[in-house]
Amino acid sequence: MEISEIIPHIEALIFASDKALSSEEINELINNALGFIEDRASMEQIESAIEGIREKYQTEFYAFELKQSGGGWQFLTKPTYHKTVALLNGDKFLKRLSSAAMETLAIIAYKQPITKSEIESIRGVNCDYAVQKLLEKDLIIISGRNEDAVGKPLIYATSKSFMDYFGINNASELPKINEVLMEELVKATVINSTEENQSFENENKLTAVENIENVSDSALPEQTINTEENSPENDV
């Protein structure tokens, strides 16, 4: 069977599917649909066809592309057009998780599989409501029970919807915690622009000079020390 004959069927399957399709699923669907008996499509042919489709939609003539996300293949809008699409689905994009739900989701993502009591021991508060909301939004799933723990508590893990939402295929593709922390530290050092910092330092120097002019000579050393201690440079 020629790859050129398979490609349009694969495009139709991925386009029509409401979830990401793996290469294995595509292979099975193609063979079932076309009723191959002796000339069945092989995995090598399917993967070559998928690669051809991926390269095709990478060109600038298309606003979407073929991406492997959520454990399978799907057509996604290119990042350049995300703002345009957001205008159409504004309400959907504005629905955000609460801080408690985000913290709970982060713990589950990095510590999975994990029980609710283990989540609560990390957060230090009850997380019944947050876990329930995450289950309702299909961001986490119940993956089983901890047979070794007392009461055999439920075990939670992230779902395919979670991977799809964040554009990853498995939990190992999540950014490392130390990378996230370093990014936050870098961001924290550029809160104000150079001009704003310079202006702030100049204002502080003027204030310090005014304070010095308003005290006697005997109090000058002590006042100078206090001014330096209260400097924003020491507060950072």
What is the per-residue pLDDT across 184-207, written as a single tens digit (0 to 9) for each? 555 544 455 454 455 545 555 444
Q: Could you tell me the pTM of the whole model?
A: 0.55
Residue with more model confidence, 163 or 216: 163
User: Are 156 and 142 within 8 A, CB to CB?
Assistant: yes
- The per-residue pLDDT for 23 is 92
pLDDT at position 199: 52
Which tops the pLDDT comparison, 31 or 167?
31
Is the confidence at residue 214, as pLDDT, over 60?
no
Mean residue pLDDT across the chain: 76
The beta-strand segments (E) located in the chain are: 64-69, 72-77, 114-115, 140-145, 154-158
Q: Is the dihedral of CA 160, 165, 170, 172 positive or negative?
A: negative
Cβ-based neighbours of 139, under 8 Å, separated by 6 or more: 105, 158, 159, 161, 162, 165
Checking if the pLDDT of 215 tops 50, the result is no
Which of these ranges, 7-16, 67-76, 194-203, 212-221, has the smallest mean pLDDT?
Answer: 212-221
pLDDT more than 90, % of the chain: 33
Say whether the peptide bond before residue 175 is cis (omega within 30 degrees of 0): no
Decide if pLDDT at 216 tops 60. no
Q: Which of helix, strand or coil describes residue 167?
A: coil
